[in-house]
Amino acid sequence: MENKVFMSFAFYSTILILKMYVVAIITGQVRLRKKAFANPEDALRNGGLQYYREDPDVERCRRAHRNDMENIFPFLFLGAIYSLLDPSPAVARIHFFIFCVGRIVHTIAYLLRLKAPTRSVAYSVAQLPCFSMALQILLATTPYW
Amino acid sequence: MENKVFMSFAFYSTILILKMYVVAIITGQVRLRKKAFANPEDALRNGGLQYYREDPDVERCRRAHRNDMENIFPFLFLGAIYSLLDPSPAVARIHFFIFCVGRIVHTIAYLLRLKAPTRSVAYSVAQLPCFSMALQILLATTPYW
Amino acid sequence: MENKVFMSFAFYSTILILKMYVVAIITGQVRLRKKAFANPEDALRNGGLQYYREDPDVERCRRAHRNDMENIFPFLFLGAIYSLLDPSPAVARIHFFIFCVGRIVHTIAYLLRLKAPTRSVAYSVAQLPCFSMALQILLATTPYW
């Protein structure tokens, strides 16, 4: 853990994982407030089987969470490998920072229903450092394929 | 691989990944037994297009699997970084053990429809070591943000 | 990064993450072409609220993507730990190669609706190296549980 780039990567990654946990907590709160449960046993405990149902606000939270899984989890991998390739600390930090801000804006745009294309712009901006890291990893590892 | 904490982490993580594979296998078995397939081409091979349909038991398996992805995958990251921060081996093992047991109980509660709030209690207990590890990582890495 | 097995693992993993990004891009293209959006705000920007709807082709892309998350993400973990266990480079490379080809065939079979059981055979073949790596990790780490 004497690799400063890796420490910086670990910081931003952990912030994003906590952000995902917040989305999970919000989903649970929306389920309780809108009375819309994914399982009959949950509905029974919260007023009756009629609350075993879908709700558009819950589905929105779940889409935000799923999009996080599709994009933040690959970042956790790419960022770790990239950090081990001895990149410039300043350039690496820019990669992590852009991704982190892009994904936080993505979540806010999703949950607050911000006007399109705010959310997709945030998604695309966050993908730029990912593509950059992926290409740098390929350049470094292709001799070992 | 001379880090004993990391070896312990790798053990519990691999158990949980195998547990996820078991959920995937169960999902496939339920699809065959209930004749409910996600794709027309699968239904055609198993009796006809009428079996291209949803089924509540299949959906339950899929929710269990998705919840695993939402929670076990972040653990794979947090636990790896935490293991590198030189924690007390005994304390670290307690973190991994609680998470592992919590997630196994969560899956059993989900698939066997155990009465609420068994499943959510298991989920919450398993989140405790995750929050603890996340906070310890932030404490160690904040100087490098 | 002087571990050649790990470099080979990083290469195949990054190829598969890029493959997943391609599935995401295809999903977006199918949404635009079929005019089927997951959010009202996206539909409003693309012709009207009537396009806030599901579409079987979009759902197929999403199933392919989800199956990737269920299987490629665990590989990213198992492969990394396995690489650190000092395996035979030739044997390790066969593990990574089979998984990579299996998952690429899986995606092609999914998106092009290839006749069953092409897709499930590709899935099963790709799981073989994962089970093999998981067992080898357990063998090496069980003393540390």
- Global pTM reads 0.97
Cβ of residue B44 closer than 8 Å to a chain C Cβ: yes
A78 contacts C73? CB cut-off 8 A: no
CA distances from C111 to B42, C108, C145 (A): 14, 5, 41
What value of ipTM does the predicted structure carry? 0.96
Residues with Cβ within 8 Å of residue B76, at least 6 apart in sequence: B13, B17, C77
Residue C77 reports pLDDT greater than 80 = yes
Tokens of C52: 């806030």
Separation in Å, CA of C145 to nearest CA in chain A: 23
Region of C94 (left: φ > 0; alpha: ψ -120 to 50; beta: rest) is alpha
Separation in Å, CA of A115 to nearest CA in chain C: 6
The amino acid sitting at C85 is L
Phi, psi of A85 (to 5 degrees): -90, 10
**Cα–Cα nearest to A100, from C142, B110, B145:** B145
Residue A103 contacts residue A83 (beta carbons within 8 Å): no
Q: Which residue of B has its CA nearest to A43?
A: B116
**Cα–Cα nearest to C16, from C91, C82, C101:** C101
Give the model's confidence band at B1: pLDDT under 50 very low, under 70 low, under 90 confident, else very high: low
Q: Return residues 112-141 of B near A (CB < 8 Å).
A: 113-117, 119-120, 127, 130-131, 134, 137-138, 140-141
Residue B138 with chain A: CB contacts under 8 Å: 11, 14-15
**Cα–Cα nearest to C110, from C53, C66, C55:** C66
Residue A70 contacts residue C65 (beta carbons within 8 Å): yes
Tokens of C86: 């000092």
Q: DSSP assignment, residue A114?
A: P
**pLDDT per residue as tens digits for the range A66-104:** 999 999 999 999 999 999 999 999 999 999 999 999 999
Q: What is the pLDDT of residue B4?
A: 95
For B77, the closest of A13, A21, A40 (CB atoms) is A13
Chains that touch A (3 or more CB pairs under 8 A): B, C
Give the model's confidence band at A145: pLDDT under 50 very low, under 70 low, under 90 confident, else very high: confident
Tokens of B60: 């339950």
